[in-house]
Chains A and B, each alone.
Chain A
Amino acid sequence: MALRAEVVTIRVVLPAHLRTLAGVKGEVALDVPAGQGDPPASGAAVTLRGALDALEARYPVLRGTMRDFGTGRRRAFVRFFACQQDLSHEPPDTPLPQPVQAGAEPLLVIGAMAGG
Chain B
Amino acid sequence: MSGVRVLVGTRKGAFVLTSDGKRASWQVSGPHFGGWEIYHVKGSPAEPDRLYASQSTGWFGQKIQRSDDGGTTWEPVGSEFAYDGVTGTHQWYDGTPHPWEFARVWHLEPSLDDPETVYAGVEDAGLFRSTDGGASWAELAGLRTHKSGPDWAPGAGGMCLHTILLDPVHAGRMFAAISAAGAFRSDDAGQTWRPINKGLHSEGIPSPEAEVGHCVHRIAMHPSRPDVLYMQKHWDVMRTDDAGETWHEISGDLPTDFGFPIAVHAHEPDTVYVVPITSDSLHYPPDGKLRVYRSRSGGNEWQPLTAGLPQQHCYVNVLRDAMDVDSLDTCGIYFGTTGGQVYASADEGDTWTAIAENLPSVLSVEAQTLP
Contact = CB atoms under 8 A, between A and B. Distances in A.
B112 interface: no
Given A17-B59, A77-B59, A111-B60, A61 B76 contact: yes
Interface in A25-57: none
Q: Interface on chain B toward A: helix, strand, loop, or mixed SS?
A: loop
A70 B82 contact: yes
Contacts of A66: 60
B245 interface: no
Contacts, number: 44
Interface string A55-77: 00000010111101110000111
A82 interface: no
Interface residues of B, number: 14
B100 interface: no
Interface string B319-338: 00000000000000000000
Contacts of A15: 59
Contact of A64 (B35, B58, B62): B62
B63 interface: yes
Given A17-B36, A114-B58, A69 B80 contact: yes
Given A75-B59, A78-B59, A114-B58, A17 B80 contact: no
A17 B35 contact: yes
Interface string B155-166: 000000000000
A77 to B, nearest CB: 4
Nearest to B79: A64
B130 interface: no
Interface string B23-66: 00000000000011000000000000000000001111111000
Contacts of A69: 80-82
B123 to A, nearest CB: 15
A65 B63 CA distance: 8
A115 B63 CA distance: 21
A77 B61 CA distance: 10
Given A61-B63, A64-B62, A17 B57 contact: yes
A112 interface: yes
Nearest to B82: A70
A83 interface: no
Interface residues of A, number: 21
Given A17-B35, A17-B36, A21-B76, A64 B82 contact: no
Contacts of A78: 59-60
A87 interface: no
B80 A65 contact: no
A75 B61 CA distance: 8
Interface centre among B36, B60, B76, B80 (most CB of A within 10 A): B60
A21 to B, nearest CB: 7
A31 B82 CA distance: 30
A15 to B, nearest CB: 8
B63 A75 contact: no
Contact of B60 (A65, A114, A115): A65
A64 B59 contact: no
A61 B81 CA distance: 14
B82 A112 contact: no
A78 B82 CA distance: 21
A18 interface: yes
Given A69-B80, A69-B82, A17 B58 contact: no
Nearest to A22: B76
A78 B61 CA distance: 10
Given A63-B80, A69-B80, A69-B82, A21 B63 contact: yes
A112 B76 contact: no
A60 to B, nearest CB: 9
29 contacts: A16-B35, A17-B35, A17-B36, A17-B57, A17-B60, A18-B60, A21-B63, A61-B63, A61-B76, A63-B79, A63-B80, A64-B61, A64-B62, A64-B63, A65-B60, A65-B61, A65-B63, A66-B60, A68-B61, A69-B82, A70-B82, A75-B60, A77-B58, A78-B59, A111-B59, A111-B60, A112-B59, A114-B58, A115-B58
Interface of B: 35-36, 57-63, 76, 79-82
Given A65-B60, A111-B60, 9 more contacts: A17-B35, A17-B59, A61-B76, A64-B61, A64-B62, A69-B80, A75-B60, A78-B60, A114-B58
